[in-house]
Amino acid sequence: MITEMNVYASLFTDTPADAELFAAWLDEREADREILEMASGDEAVRVDSRVLANACSGYSPDIAPRQIRILSKRYVTDPQVVPFVAVIEKWDDDMWLIAPFSQYATPATPGEMDSGTGLMGRQVIQAWNARTIQERLLSKSFLCGELDPGITMEVAALFRNQLAGTELPETFSARRGPAIAFEADPRRDYVMENILRFQPLSTAVKATERALADREHAIQKVLLSRSFGKGATASLAYAAGTERSVTEKYKVGESELWLTYDPEQDVVLMSFYDAEGEPTREYDGYAVMGQGIDFVGTFMDGSLSVPADAVSKNFTLTNPDGCPVEVCKVEVG
């Protein structure tokens, strides 16, 4: 049956089969956006990392090809989409090649293919979005299944096809999406959204690479004047036996970075303020490395909430390229 969506899709594709596939993807995207609009602000539909951890039995450090994993939410910007990834192959001694899954069940571009799993959120693999990641970062993920060996080989082949133009093997049979030929194609927005969704992961990989190359960070590492957390050295969390919130302030460029410890939640809220004392998003995308080389997260909307023990003694602030940024203490509150 010819629908309005099919007619629209035919404007961007060369064949009826491609138009039908594109129309199916458009239907999914429209439905997904409607659901997100209706659920906007509804905490019930958000991903709860604690529930997710329990459901997946916690982080699994034993990594192997073919595994399907859920990344820690610190590596993505969108809390509404579960960050499923497939482990494709060992890249070198420290790095693994992984490929994210699309949130849709229909391949959108020639760089996407059916996974063969038939599982929600794990039906289409974004070979075009594959990247390498250090084992120490990937180990902070939840194991939740595995791919067929043949599918894994096809993902590896499609990744190299998209990256370097290598020919796909004659045996390649996975369904792929139609080509993007026009500037107005809505799939361009989808591709950019997914690049930005994994920007924290890209920053984490770059920052970790630099931190491992120079474990000391003698100049850039910020030593805290007080210890955060509920351990024996957390003197600032207790005043005369009473828990209280405390703040430390640091200078970053023309802005200030405030670290506020919440003893009830045992977390540290890191927030940026401009020269006028107003919240600023100037440093969104910057990352925090705790205890030397442990990626903690990236700033969004001017702030970042982290477990107190992650920055209990020191931290390093890096830009999105992983380069350390100068941070100077202002005062202790």
Query: What is the Cα–Cα distance from 81 to 73, expressed in whole angstroms?
Result: 10
Query: What is the Cα–Cα distance from 234 to 238, expressed in whole angstroms?
Result: 7
pLDDT tier for residue 292 given thresholds of 50, 70 and 90: low
pLDDT at 239: 38
pLDDT tier for residue 56 given thresholds of 50, 70 and 90: low
Highest mean predicted confidence (pLDDT) among 18-32, 100-114, 288-302: 100-114
pLDDT at 221: 65
Average pLDDT over residues 278-285: 97
- Regarding predicted confidence, which is higher, 58 or 283? 283
Provide the CB-side half-sphere exposure for 196 (13 A, CA). 10
User: For the whole model, what pTM was predicted?
Assistant: 0.85
Give the pLDDT confidence of 309-322 residue by residue, as tens digits: 998 888 999 999 99
Average pLDDT over residues 280-287: 97
pLDDT of 288 strictly over 50: yes
pLDDT at 61: 87
What token pair was written down for 159? Answer: 């990744």
pLDDT of 34 strictly over 90: no
Give the pLDDT confidence of 139-186 residue by residue, as tens digits: 999 999 999 999 999 999 999 999 999 999 999 999 999 999 999 999
pLDDT tier for residue 282 given thresholds of 50, 70 and 90: very high
pLDDT at 291: 77
Share of the chain above pLDDT 70, in %: 83
pLDDT at 232: 34
Q: What sections of the chain are H helices per DSSP?
A: 4-10, 16-38, 49-55, 135-138, 149-164, 187-197, 199-213
pLDDT of 128 strictly over 80: yes
Query: What is the Cα–Cα distance from 86 to 99, expressed in whole angstroms?
Result: 5
pLDDT at 234: 44
User: Per mean pLDDT, which range of 9-23, 200-214, 292-306 is the poorest?
Assistant: 9-23
Domains and CATH numbers, the chain: 45-197 (2.30.30.110), 216-332 (no CATH)
pLDDT tier for residue 219 given thresholds of 50, 70 and 90: very low
- Regarding predicted confidence, which is higher, 96 or 239? 96
